[in-house]
Structure 1
Amino acid sequence: MEPLSNLSAALAQAIQHASGIDVTGATLQRVSGGSINRAYHVRVGEQSFFLKLNSAQALPMFEAEADGLAALAATDTFRVPRVLGCGRTEDDAFLLLEYLQLRPLASDEDGQRFAEALVQLHHDTGEHYGWSRDNFIGAAPQANTPGDGWARFFINHRLIPQLERARAKGYAGALGRDADALLERAPGLFVDYRPQPSLLHGDLWHGNAAIDEAGRPAIFDPAVYRGDRDADLAMSELFGGFPSSFYIAYRRAWPMADGYEQRKTLYNLYHVLNHLNLFGRGYLGQAERMIRGLYMELRR
């Protein structure tokens, strides 16, 4: 443990100003919080909180996360950590959240409950694709300008920005050659497919999903927008996946439309490109294979 005051008196004051919580005498324990932020379990007497810290310039990222958490909480479908305060000092941006006792999804029952909650979330639909504000996918900007055409939205606001970043970082080669051809043909996946603009978590890998102490499904670290529910389902399969009971229960409640497997690869290409841009060349081969495979399928 380390005293909160060791971080800075300014940070302690800013947290109290933003949240109304007196953190005098608080203690910190560093916890896992992903690769982007510094995360702490904060204890103040008998109270516990979850604190995210980053550089002061990261405040827009935390503000967007707070907005996404509020949107998810408003649906009353999942347990979502309550936002208690968000702000910055000269050196640090912070997000203070309710501390939840969480565990990974493990049992068939966990998977089924999570699926039932996700179906409810996806039934929260709007008139347009996108969101009322731009936000972030990890540390990368994510544009959400509302629109009526799903294929156009996904290509223009998801794939093209990531491909431009990849090229700027020097990942051209086959990635660049085949990607342009893929973008031309990708709308063909949506000729007879008009998904509802569902409320999406937006970054739904298993590390952002859990079960709380009461057995209720929980989600956090969102990148929300309204889009095709398949995008959330696709992401859930990308990095290890969820229990098989999750997929069985979801599809029983709301079957997938034809063409899901191709759409899944296209949607997950967005996340693989984002990982390439954030974490480096280790994702280049996977991105190239996905682009090439989709392009070859769409040429038929």
Structure 2
Amino acid sequence: MRGNNDNANIIQKIAAGNQLEVKSCRPLGGGDINEVYLLETAKDKFIIKLNDASRFPGMFEAEKEGLEELSAAGVIKVPEVKKVGEESGASYILMEYINSAKPPIDFSRKFGQQLAALHKTTAKDFGFKSNNYIGSLPQCNTSCTTAAEFYITQRLEPQIKMAKDKGNDLGDPSALYKNCEALIPQEPPALVHGDLWSGNYMVGNRGEPCLIDPAVSYAPREMDLGMMKLFGGFDKEIFETYEEHFPTEAGLEERIPLWQLYYLLVHLNIFGSGYRSQVSSILNRYS
């Protein structure tokens, strides 16, 4: 991890390279992956995120692609990316600053309606034009023709293999995969955020829903709903409005833990054994 002085020098170089005259720059926090700063110029404010270019190659390029794909759908606000690049061993992404506001009374209905509209954005196949990241882990997006094939081969298999390589005894997933084929609805690919926990949405300065930090793909749409319900933080009215505008197939609640399995495997592989019992419970349920 670089020191604050190192980051300050890097940010000054990035600003100069993008013809930005910096008035102030202050840290907004960060974690093991990124360090986040609010950059204020004479005319505007920006968010700049830094990470180690050698540890997370292509991460910000993937984030840019994901945000641009969400933006192109034209149904929900995302921050505009100004520039992605490298400077002094650090990768960076420079983007629009969104000043968070208090949610208006109709925020949840807007969010549910816009998420439904996003999920109606479709593609020929499941997958995405490039691989990306889920948290700090690589996420594969190879093209698949069915929802079950995509979820098994591009989501569950890589994470289960990684978990086993880390010493977690998760048993034989063959029965799980067979049940995936039986349970997963045969719906068209949907444009999903891909990592939609409560920390990855915000209220824009005009009270509109905004999505940040995506792990985009064309995937089974219920994956977003499963993640939203995993850790909470979403108003019930969001889900009710979503159902009004894009009803899910019968049996959604039975499938929710199946979708949550992917995200719990990711947490197991990033954060360790604290998530193993939840993973094992879901594996047993669907095996």
TM-score in terms of structure 1 length:
0.88
Alignment of 1:268-283 (within 5 A): 268-283=260-275
Cα distance in structure 1, aligned partners of 2:249 and 2:7: 51
- 1:128 alignment partner in structure 2: 125
Higher mean C-alpha displacement, 266-275 vs 7-16: 7-16
Q: Give the residue type in structure 2 aligned to 1:87.
A: G
Cα distance in structure 2, aligned partners of 1:8 and 1:282: 36
Cα distance in structure 1, aligned partners of 2:118 and 2:175: 34
- 1:237 alignment partner in structure 2: 229
Q: Give the residue type in structure 1 aligned to 2:119.
A: H
Do the aligned partners of 1:128 and 1:147 also contact (CA within 8 Å) in 2?
yes
Do the aligned partners of 1:42 and 1:49 also contact (CA within 8 Å) in 2?
yes
Cα distance in structure 2, aligned partners of 1:86 and 1:16: 14
- 1:181 alignment partner in structure 2: 175
User: Which string of whole-angstrom CA distances, capped at 9 and with x for unpartnered residues, describes residues 105-131 of structure 1?
Assistant: x66521111011111111111111001
Q: CA RMSD in A?
A: 2.0
Deviation at 1:262, TM superposition (A): 2.9
- 2:13 alignment partner in structure 1: 13
Cα distance in structure 1, aligned partners of 2:13 and 2:265: 39
Do the aligned partners of 1:195 and 1:227 also contact (CA within 8 Å) in 2?
no
For residue 60 of structure 1, the aligned residue among 58, 61, 64 is: 58
User: Which string of whole-angstrom CA distances, capped at 9 and with x for unpartnered residues, describes residues 75-118 of structure 1?
Assistant: 121111010111112321111110001257x6652111101111
SS at structure 2 position matched to 1:95: strand
**Residue 38 in 1 paired to residue 35 in 2?**
yes
SS at structure 1 position matched to 2:98: coil
Do the aligned partners of 1:41 and 1:49 also contact (CA within 8 Å) in 2?
yes
Cα distance in structure 1, aligned partners of 2:231 and 2:32: 15
**Residue 148 in 1 paired to residue 145 in 2?**
yes
For residue 256 of structure 1, the aligned residue among 248, 255, 259 is: 248
For residue 77 of structure 1, the aligned residue among 70, 75, 78 is: 75
Cα distance in structure 1, aligned partners of 2:204 and 2:8: 32
User: Which string of whole-angstrom CA distances, capped at 9 and with x for unpartnered residues, describes residues 214-243 of structure 1?
Assistant: 111100100111111111111111111410
Alignment of 1:172-251 (within 5 A): 172=169, 175=170, 177=171, 179-190=173-184, 193-251=185-243
| Cα distance change on mapping 1:59 and 1:82 into 2, 3 Å | farther
Which segments of 5 or more consecutive residues in structure 1 lack a partner in the other structure? 296-300
For residue 97 of structure 1, the aligned residue among 92, 95, 98 is: 95
SS at structure 2 position matched to 1:170: coil
Cα distance in structure 1, aligned partners of 2:150 and 2:85: 31
Cα distance in structure 2, aligned partners of 1:11 and 1:46: 17
User: Which string of whole-angstrom CA distances, capped at 9 and with x for unpartnered residues, describes residues 223-277 of structure 1?
Assistant: 1111111111111111114101101111112211013123221111000000110
For residue 286 of structure 1, the aligned residue among 257, 278, 281 is: 278
Cα distance in structure 2, aligned partners of 1:277 and 1:198: 26
Do the aligned partners of 1:69 and 1:80 also contact (CA within 8 Å) in 2?
yes
Cα distance in structure 2, aligned partners of 1:154 and 1:68: 19
Deviation at 1:59, TM superposition (A): 4.1
- 1:298 alignment partner in structure 2: none
**Residue 163 in 1 paired to residue 140 in 2?**
no
Q: Percent identity?
A: 34
Do the aligned partners of 1:108 and 1:243 also contact (CA within 8 Å) in 2?
no
Higher helix residue share = 1
Deviation at 1:12, TM superposition (A): 3.0
Do the aligned partners of 1:265 and 1:294 also contact (CA within 8 Å) in 2?
no
SS at structure 1 position matched to 2:33: coil
Q: Give the residue type in structure 1 aligned to 2:205.
A: E
